[in-house]
């Protein structure tokens, strides 16, 4: 029996199904089977069938509180979000698409209320632990589709910041996580920077003060400057600088589009202009 072909055909056949018509055992069996193949390198199966089906089930509010909790615990567990963490290979698909499901589950909890404050805090802690430790920073992989673990990690952060249990005392924790990602030895080329901008703007919607963001921006550029002083135009510096510059440019234009944050925009412009590669341009 070709299990992959069977699960593919099953999901194609279920495309128009009202999942609420399945009994509890049938639904749980279907979810289990999809989770087993969530990290498959076959993008059609992973991206085109399994993830959207699971996301649909999560969003339709047809799961019991216990089923939601079990699904979340599975997704943030060792076989999913932390599966072979630190490895650069096909294992990234399981981690990355588990991250997407976690984001969907946290968002669903806003209406479903299956997470206690303690469970939310534990989930947030595990999400941050994962994002900071993820070393496979590839976006799109030829022949296998999207990995995009860092972008999906940003999606988790966005769902966390928007959740009612998230408090302003955790703003700095989120900033530190974004900072860690910016300084990973990788150059992001698939709009990862923009996904983190969404997180920052969501924090502003929750009352994040402009002065604190300004201090963080200054800290990032100071850290980058210190790295340049120690390494010069090293390969590592060049990649980190690319991440920081792209992120700060995205933030600048995002603020400009909304016609706000004048002080922040001036701060961003001056610091971007001062980067080594830009001094000859301005």
All structural domains of the chain with their residue ranges: 174-189+209-282
Note down pLDDT in tens along the chain; length 282 residues.
455 658 888 888 877 777 878 888 889 999 999 999 999 999 999 999 999 999 999 999 899 999 999 999 999 999 999 999 999 999 999 999 999 999 999 999 999 999 999 999 999 999 999 999 999 999 999 999 999 999 999 999 999 999 999 999 999 999 999 999 999 988 899 999 999 999 999 999 999 999 999 999 999 999 999 999 999 999 999 999 999 999 999 999 999 987 778 999 999 999 999 998 776 544
Q: Are 165 and 119 in contact (CB under 8 A)?
A: no
pTM of the full structure: 0.93
Q: Are 162 and 107 in contact (CB under 8 A)?
A: yes
């Amino acid at each position: 029996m070709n299990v992959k072909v069977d699960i593919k055909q099953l999901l194609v056949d279920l495309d128009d199904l009202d999942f609420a018509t399945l009994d509890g055992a049938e639904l749980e069996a279907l979810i289990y089977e999809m989770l087993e193949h969530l990290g498959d390198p076959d993008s059609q199966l992973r991206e085109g069938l399994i993830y959207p089906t699971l996301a649909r089930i999560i969003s339709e509010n047809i799961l019991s509180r216990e089923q939601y909790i079990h699904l979340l615990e599975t997704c943030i567990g060792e076989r999913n979000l932390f599966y072979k963490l630190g490895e650069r290979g096909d294992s990234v698909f399981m981690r990355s698409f588990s991250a997407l499901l976690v984001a969907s589950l946290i968002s669903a909890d806003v209406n479903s209320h299956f997470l206690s404050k303690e469970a939310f805090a534990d989930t947030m802690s595990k999400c941050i632990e994962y994002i900071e430790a993820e070393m496979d920073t590839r976006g799109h992989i030829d022949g296998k589709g999207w990995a995009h673990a860092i972008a999906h990690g940003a999606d988790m952060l966005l769902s966390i910041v928007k959740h009612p249990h998230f408090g302003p005392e955790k703003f700095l924790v989120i900033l530190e996580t974004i900072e860690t990602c910016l300084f990973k030895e990788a150059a992001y080329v698939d709009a990862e920077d923009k996904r983190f901008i969404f997180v920052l703007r969501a924090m502003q919607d929750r009352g994040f003060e402009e002065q604190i963001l300004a201090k963080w921006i200054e800290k990032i550029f100071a850290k980058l400057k210190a790295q340049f002083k120690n390494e010069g135009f090293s390969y590592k510096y060049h990649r980190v600088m690319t991440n920081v510059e792209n992120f700060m440019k995205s933030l600048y234009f995002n603020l400009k589009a909304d016609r706000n944050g004048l002080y922040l925009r001036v701060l961003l412009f001056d610091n971007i202009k001062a980067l080594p590669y830009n001094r000859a341009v301005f």
